Amino acid sequence: MESNGGSTSRRAAAERIRRAIALINAVADEAGDEEITPTEIAEAIRDCLELSEVDRAPNVRRYLGEALDAVSDGMPADFVAMTLYAALGALREGA
């Protein structure tokens, strides 16, 4: 059985992924007065990759890497968001 610390770190990882998704959704919705750059989106995804929790659940690191590559390749925001949703789902499944 996993300790409460694992549950806490999993929640922290999920929260970081959700923040990255929110940032991408803001771009897709063209919400807000300030422009969000691909660099900012990539940094949000890199923040997720820094967490050790992404290595404890299958495929989370892979999906995050794919999302980062998609940003670099100029893919549409909805594609990047769907890849991040896949990472979030894999994180939940790995719990």
Domain 4-93 has CATH 3.30.450.40: no
pTM for the complete prediction? 0.85
The answer to whether 64 touches 50, Cβ cutoff 8 Å, is no
- Residue ranges per structural domain of the chain: 4-93
Residues 6 or more apart whose CB falls under 8 angstroms from that of 63 comprise: 83, 84, 86, 87, 90
Task: Give residue 2's pLDDT.
Answer: 46
Q: How far apart are CA 23 and CA 41, in angstroms?
A: 7
CA distance 56 to 28: 30
Nearest alpha carbon to residue 51 among 82, 93, 81, 91: 91
Instruction: Convert the pLDDT of each residue in 24-41 to its tens digit.
Output: 988 877 655 468 889 999
Q: How many CA atoms lie within 13 A of 30 on its CB side?
A: 0
pLDDT tens for residues 34-88?
688 899 999 999 999 999 889 988 899 999 999 999 999 999 999 999 999 999 9
